[in-house]
Amino acid sequence: MKDEVAVKTLDSQGYTDIKVIDNSWYAVGLRGCDQNDAARITATAKNPAGKTVTIYVCTGLWKGGTIRTP
């Protein structure tokens, strides 16, 4: 389910060719997300400018996704 949140979040911001490559639940607040987030999904995607990037989507229990760059 978290992968779907990441894909939906990135798609809504204009990212394409989205590929989820990792899911983390341990200490995500210390690894690029907010301390209240429950999971960090790492993906590769083409940004709206057409460049392939690695990106995080941070998500919590009662929220959608927040896009973060590593």
Half-sphere exposure of 59 toward its Cβ, with a 13 Å CA cutoff? 22
Mean pLDDT of the chain: 92
Confidence of residue 6 (pLDDT cuts 50, 70, 90): very high
Mean pLDDT of 42-62: 94
Domain membership of residue 47 as a residue range: 2-68
62 has pLDDT over 90: no
The more confidently predicted of residues 28 and 52 is 52
Please give the torsion angle defined by the CA atoms of residues 27, 24, 57 and 37, in that order, rounded to the nearest 10 degrees. -40
20 has pLDDT over 80: yes
Residues 9, 22, 55, CA angle at the centre, nearest 5°? Answer: 45
Structural domains counted in the chain: 1
